[in-house]
Structure 1
Amino acid sequence: MSKEKRPIQPEDFIKLSIYSDPQYTHRNAFFYVSTKINDKGKYESHLYKQVLTEEKPTRWTFSGQKNNHPRVSPDGKYLVFQSDRSGTMQIWLMSLAGGEAKQITTFPYGATSPEWSKDGKTILFTARLEADDDIYELKELTKEDKEKIKQEKAEKPLIVNRLKYKSDAQGFHDDKNVHIIRYELEQDSFAQLTSGKLDYYYQDISPDGETLLFAANLNKTADRELYLDLYTLNMKTKEIHKLTNNKGQYYDAHFSPDGKQIVCYGNTFQYDGATLNELIVFDVKTGKERWLSKKWDVQLGDLMIGDTQLGESFTGPVWSNDGSKIFFLGTEHGATHLFETDLTGNRKIVYTDNHHIFSFDYDQNTDSFIMGISTPVNPCNFYHLQDGKVRQITKANEKYVNEVHLSKPEEINFQADDGWDIQGWLLRPYGFQKGKKYPLILEVHGGPHAMYGQTYFHELQLLAAKGYVVLYTNPRGSHGYGQQFVDACRGDYGGKDYTDLMNAVDYVLANYSFIDQDRMGVTGGSYGGFMTNWIVGHTNRFKAAVTQRSISNWLSFYGVSDIGFFFTKWEHGYHLLDDPVKLWNFSPLKYAKNIETPLLILHGELDFRCPIEQGEQLFITLKHLQKEVEFVRFPNANHELSRSGDPNMRIERLNHILRWFKKYI
């Protein structure tokens, strides 16, 4: 460790620029999004252009709080993007030759996700509309309009008559639906391609421009289902054809360069929410499908967990220039890799370096890639990959990385009680000295079907900076180790997943003499919060615990969470009325009398995923039992508090964690 580098502080994440969404222009350059927190404590994102042969990027947007989703026209003349500079997220168009951006849409509830047709004459995007909206009559809402609508909502009761009436990301749902709109550049005109009281998600348009590909659930029972099918829409006849016939979810679908095939991710919920994604290719003419990934036993896409990844990240699948190969990211053993496969399922790694590839773009002209990569000691950067050679292009957060000390993780591998192989990592504390004993913090990730690994994680680095050994592992139930492993915690929460975590602690105590076994703490969020609650109800080996956005009672979770009505059955095998006794047995609240560990409960007041009543129940029970407990409620914070919540609240949260562990360990 360099003595010149300082330990990081809670507020240091404010200094980070987080890169995302690389998009090639023509051969020697690409656009990307840079998101950071401005001087007013608000998130701000802007578009940058990076020429591959130049050292510094050029900033292209200056107005507005958020500018993102850049897409370059096929002829390389225009850039379309979305921006909230007008007060609402709308679609904007800019000439790459220079000049001011032109606002294309003025929809009252915004417009997002613009994409080009293959001939560059059309832009397709999505917008939230009411059933009787006329897109030619729609006008953007003023500040006064928005305030009036907000006030009117506050003065009326909310009438609920459907099952899926709220979500953690959106809050309470309204009567608007997502529809696909086409904008013709030459005519400066719009056409609404979908309608009705259902949501339609744009996927792609065929190379000849005649067929629209979208995802939707068009069933009458859509409110009770999680299915998402693929459909094609003939742009001339308006005929809709259903492409998928299995009950499942299909998404990220793209036409092949010749338009004869479609590739997508999908699964049929064979293992409910723990089902691995599959790579599927459809023949457009016959509808015949091939599941290329059946024998791979690898999770497709990026399931890495971090707390500083902001902005959208494309993970594939994408066709090669001649349509003979498909490129995509895969999640495996604590890292993500860039893969390719031919059309028979012969898979190989295009690039890996035991890091976190969080996004990529492929250029069909040069057969090359731009990859966004994060490591534990480098939050993000873009790299150019061509002919097997990799070169770093950007220098994001160079000053920050050179200024602060970041602990490099040491990988650990051990066997659980029943012989299963478990992977984890250890961070040594700042200023580590041989012969000295250090306290340990066990971190438990959420999901549970996610993965810790080789990415930047501010909270973990902060704990190491404050003098703690940090242990984080992927117990069974985590992604990255195959279908049997990720499915293994379902119906067994608090079982072998719990013993995996305790075995991890036992392993590091036996193999790292600098850990003080009498000064250990535990923390985690969501499922990690559930597991923190479970741990302190089943062992007193930890001196302090911090449970974040947690689950304490599966009986009430079923009815209050935005996902409770299906997630409870998915993870435990029972709905509320199927077997409430067994759900109670899985609930940490049942074991509250056993808790002797001082417990700090952190929860967002607008969390609809794990609602705050879960924290309230645990707090009141422990307080009534005269246990050592404290409850911190974060106003206007949802389930994403630790990752994309209000920056000031994120700092408060980190400080409370540090305060609790300092007091009791």
Structure 2
Amino acid sequence: MRPADLELLTGVSRPTVHPAGGRAVVSVTHPSLAADATIGQLWNMPLSGHAAPRRLTRGFRDSAPQFSPDGRLIAFLRGGPKSPSQLHVVDAAGGEPVVVTDRKLGVTEFAWSPDGRSLAFVSRDPEQGRYGTVDGIEPNGERARRIDTLKYQANGLGYITDRRSHVYLVTAPDVWAEPAVSPIAEADGSTRPAPAVATPRALTGGDWDDSTIAFSPDGSTLAFVSARHESRDDDLRSNVFVVPVDGGREPSDATGRHGDFSIVAVAYGLNGALYFSAQDVGESGRDFVAKNTALYVIDHPGAAPRLLTDPESVDLTESDIVAFRDDSVLVSDRRRGVLTLTEVDADGSARRLTDDLTVVSGVGAAGGTVVASVSDAGTAGDVAVLDGDGIRKLTDFSRELRASGVIPPRELTVTGRDGYPIHGWVVAPEGPGPHPVLLNIHGGPFAAYTAALFDEAQVYAAAGYAVVMSNPRGSAGYGQDHGRVIRQRMGTVDLADVLDFLDGAIAATPGLDAERVGVMGGSYGGYLTAWTIAHDHRFAAAIVERGYLDPAAFIGTSDIGSFFSDEYTGTDPSGIAAQSPQAVVDRVRTPTLVLHSSSDLRCPLGQAERYYAALKRGGVEAELVIFPGEDHELSRSGRPRHRRERFEIILDWWDRHLPVERR
């Protein structure tokens, strides 16, 4: 895979399944270098017979499809090149979509009411005078912001306290009615108002954010997630609220008095039980480090939640909750580098439905039919239906990508110096070698490399580098103890694990050159890369990307700075310094490329600037690259041309410091 092959990386949304079970619809997107944006449309997926999948819409960026309860309509979000996503509805048989909303800042999520007569949606409501609400007032001309909270920004968004997200209800349009027209002026010069979308009714409000919505099966209430408690600025708690759709009373908290929850997802079961997934953040409300997300159920209104899954061994952090049978739901369990589709009954019993090689990123179900969006070593995203033998793929969107060159990873477990097993993968170029080696370190730290096709590993391997990737202690998917062991001990066993896996991978994989190695990583991976080169000088060069490099300076500058450093590196100054790459930057001798984005609010640009300046002042060969307008997600969802340029810069750096010997 080459940098320009980014356009072949196809993403597939969570499927929506027709109530009769005969078809599904997904959004299929990909980066477009021509548009310099991610674009895509809705696709129809026949589940039986010989009909082929086909494109259903032709928008610039159509996403998040949902069939109406009767299957006659499809609602979805449509965004334009420079406009936010708005809610649209189209005849399920095809046709011209009808616009439902014209929100200034767009719509982020929605849900059909069970009777199909209305839709609830979530949208940010801008403060008057900001965000284009008044023509002629540019962002730099807005009045000053007066801030009195710790949490006031979010990466990828910016300021949040002056554009809170709330829940709205709008009538579903009649897609078969005669289209409205814009009237021309009358003879006397008067005009009638131009037709507009229906006016939505607000279901929530206040100085907090509401999101993650779900209708009850009878349509009388709507569940959503919010943090409305007094200490919300100082902790990570959130709760499930329930509000009557008729507006008869204020939202009621269904979970707050029952535990210290940070809610991830919420959904009603077919029998009316209310399911939610959450981390238990403890009495402090801030104990989030390596906490797995567990599944709970509230059997009837007012009941206490019941825990259904073991938070030590099951992690639903990257999972939706999908109603399946009367007393069960479908979830995706994060374990050992995959997301495993799992059915969980109301009594807590569970059945794994997919294998150890498939990442199930989204699932839809209706009438016993289950359709999933999946990825594995050979695909970046495809659609599959669950049958008696596991999953059967309906699409092959990565066919062209494989034709460009995809190298299957080799799974490996290495025993570390203290006897601990370290799991990971090696992607090695074809040919006998010897191949220079790149040690890649993932972000998080409570995240993981997976068994799915990874564009970065493929690009580097195609350029001639063997790529070594592991999930050291601190990573997700191996139990909470595996993740929590580095809490206030960063740079200890995690450093040992990545180095031991590197040594083990070189020893176990023919053709890898132990004398020619580089190291790179982003976010926490940037942290551990910077920490590694201060303690181990074997590397020919390093790349530190969007790094968490100065825990002390993180506080008050990052969008998660109010809690992240306190929990991961502690509050004692000497303890913080003992885990800080900035504090040991004077030990670095390795040539280092520092990559960062100008609008990164997760690991702010100052983290990179201070680290780079210290490298230069210490006489280390270093280069700083700053991508304008990008945030912390550049490598995953940034502008396609910037993503391509990033690859080109990285490959140029390695070509200069760790050249591949061409034969």
TM-score normalised to the size of structure 1?
A: 0.90
Matched residue, 1:524: 521
Matched residue, 1:27: 21
1:75 to 70, 77, 83: 70
CA change 1:32–1:196 in 2 (3 A) is same
What's the CA shift for 1:55? 4.2
Matched residue, 2:191: none
Residue by residue over 1:343-383, the C-alpha shift from the partner in whole angstroms, topping out at 9 and shown as x without a partner, is 222222112141211111112x1x12111111122211111
**Equivalent pairs: percent with the same residue?**
28
Secondary structure in 2 matching 1:111:
coil
CA change 1:398–1:342 in 2 (3 A) is same
Matched residue, 1:178: 165
Matched residue, 1:91: 87
Residue by residue over 1:181-227, the C-alpha shift from the partner in whole angstroms, topping out at 9 and shown as x without a partner, is 11233796632111222222242111111122111111233233321
Cα distance between partner residues in 2 of 1:413 and 1:202: 38
Cα distance between partner residues in 1 of 2:147 and 2:133: 24
Matched residue, 2:178: none
Determine if contact 1:274/1:486 at 8 Å carries over to the other structure. Answer: yes
Secondary structure in 1 matching 2:563:
helix
**Correspondences of 1:252-291 after superposition (within 5 Å):** 252-259=265-272, 261-270=273-282, 271-291=287-307
What's the CA shift for 1:607? 0.8
Secondary structure in 2 matching 1:223:
coil
Residue by residue over 1:37-86, the C-alpha shift from the partner in whole angstroms, topping out at 9 and shown as x without a partner, is 332222212111121234432322223x3221111111111111121349
**Correspondences of 1:1-16 after superposition (within 5 Å):** 8-16=1-9
Residue by residue over 1:380-433, the C-alpha shift from the partner in whole angstroms, topping out at 9 and shown as x without a partner, is 1111112345321112132232x222111111112222222110111111x312
Residue by residue over 1:535-562, the C-alpha shift from the partner in whole angstroms, topping out at 9 and shown as x without a partner, is 1100111111111001221111112111
Matched residue, 1:112: 108
**Correspondences of 1:53-452 after superposition (within 5 Å):** 53-63=49-59, 65-85=60-80, 87-130=83-126, 148-149=136-137, 151-154=138-141, 156-185=143-172, 190-236=200-246, 237-244=248-255, 245=257, 246-259=259-272, 261-270=273-282, 271-294=287-310, 297-302=313-318, 315-321=319-325, 323-363=326-366, 365=367, 367-401=368-402, 403-429=403-429, 431-433=430-432, 436-452=433-449
Secondary structure in 1 matching 2:111:
strand
What's the CA shift for 1:493? 0.8
Cα distance between partner residues in 1 of 2:134 and 2:459: 40
What's the CA shift for 1:534? 0.4
Matched residue, 1:18: 11
Cα distance between partner residues in 1 of 2:582 and 2:414: 31
Cα distance between partner residues in 1 of 2:11 and 2:311: 35
> Is 1:618 the counterpart of 2:611 in the alignment?
yes
Secondary structure in 2 matching 1:129:
strand
Determine if contact 1:55/1:394 at 8 Å carries over to the other structure. Answer: no
TM-score normalised to the size of structure 2?
A: 0.90
Residue by residue over 1:513-535, the C-alpha shift from the partner in whole angstroms, topping out at 9 and shown as x without a partner, is 52222110000000000000001
Cα distance between partner residues in 2 of 1:383 and 1:535: 41
Determine if contact 1:446/1:525 at 8 Å carries over to the other structure. Answer: yes
Cα distance between partner residues in 2 of 1:358 and 1:98: 27
* One-letter amino acid of the counterpart of residue 317, structure 1: I
Secondary structure in 1 matching 2:213:
strand
Determine if contact 1:441/1:471 at 8 Å carries over to the other structure. Answer: yes
* One-letter amino acid of the counterpart of residue 281, structure 2: F
CA change 1:595–1:55 in 2 (3 A) is farther
CA change 1:660–1:487 in 2 (3 A) is same
Cα distance between partner residues in 2 of 1:130 and 1:628: 46
Cα distance between partner residues in 1 of 2:596 and 2:250: 48
What's the CA shift for 1:295? 6.7
Residue by residue over 1:284-308, the C-alpha shift from the partner in whole angstroms, topping out at 9 and shown as x without a partner, is 2341221011376121243xxxxxx
The more displaced of 548-557 and 47-56 is 47-56
Cα distance between partner residues in 1 of 2:135 and 2:522: 34
Cα distance between partner residues in 1 of 2:442 and 2:372: 25
Determine if contact 1:605/1:635 at 8 Å carries over to the other structure. Answer: yes
The more displaced of 638-647 and 212-221 is 212-221
CA change 1:353–1:251 in 2 (3 A) is closer
Cα distance between partner residues in 2 of 1:390 and 1:202: 28
* One-letter amino acid of the counterpart of residue 36, structure 1: H
Determine if contact 1:282/1:289 at 8 Å carries over to the other structure. Answer: yes
What's the CA shift for 1:439? 1.0
Determine if contact 1:131/1:196 at 8 Å carries over to the other structure. Answer: no
Structure 2 residues not aligned, in runs of 5+: 175-197, 659-663
What's the CA shift for 1:95? 1.7
* One-letter amino acid of the counterpart of residue 21, structure 2: R
* One-letter amino acid of the counterpart of residue 128, structure 1: R
What's the CA shift for 1:131? 7.2
Cα distance between partner residues in 1 of 2:153 and 2:106: 20
1:468 to 465, 471, 484: 465
What's the CA shift for 1:157? 4.0
Determine if contact 1:276/1:299 at 8 Å carries over to the other structure. Answer: yes
> Is 1:41 the counterpart of 2:36 in the alignment?
yes
> Is 1:50 the counterpart of 2:45 in the alignment?
yes
* One-letter amino acid of the counterpart of residue 496, structure 2: T
Secondary structure in 2 matching 1:339:
strand
CA change 1:461–1:203 in 2 (3 A) is same
CA change 1:337–1:560 in 2 (3 A) is same
Secondary structure in 1 matching 2:136:
helix
CA change 1:437–1:31 in 2 (3 A) is same
Determine if contact 1:545/1:600 at 8 Å carries over to the other structure. Answer: yes
Residue by residue over 1:83-140, the C-alpha shift from the partner in whole angstroms, topping out at 9 and shown as x without a partner, is 134944221121224432111122222233221111112211112225799xxxxxx9
Secondary structure in 1 matching 2:14:
strand
Cα distance between partner residues in 2 of 1:157 and 1:182: 32
Cα distance between partner residues in 1 of 2:84 and 2:345: 43
Determine if contact 2:100/2:172 at 8 Å carries over to the other structure. Answer: no
Determine if contact 1:180/1:202 at 8 Å carries over to the other structure. Answer: no
Matched residue, 1:455: 452
CA change 1:540–1:318 in 2 (3 A) is same
Cα distance between partner residues in 2 of 1:608 and 1:452: 23
Residue by residue over 1:253-296, the C-alpha shift from the partner in whole angstroms, topping out at 9 and shown as x without a partner, is 1122122x211101221452311111101122341221011376
What's the CA shift for 1:172? 2.4
Cα distance between partner residues in 2 of 1:97 and 1:340: 31
Cα distance between partner residues in 1 of 2:303 and 2:479: 29
CA change 1:146–1:98 in 2 (3 A) is farther
Secondary structure in 2 matching 1:559:
coil
**Correspondences of 1:620-639 after superposition (within 5 Å):** 620-639=613-632
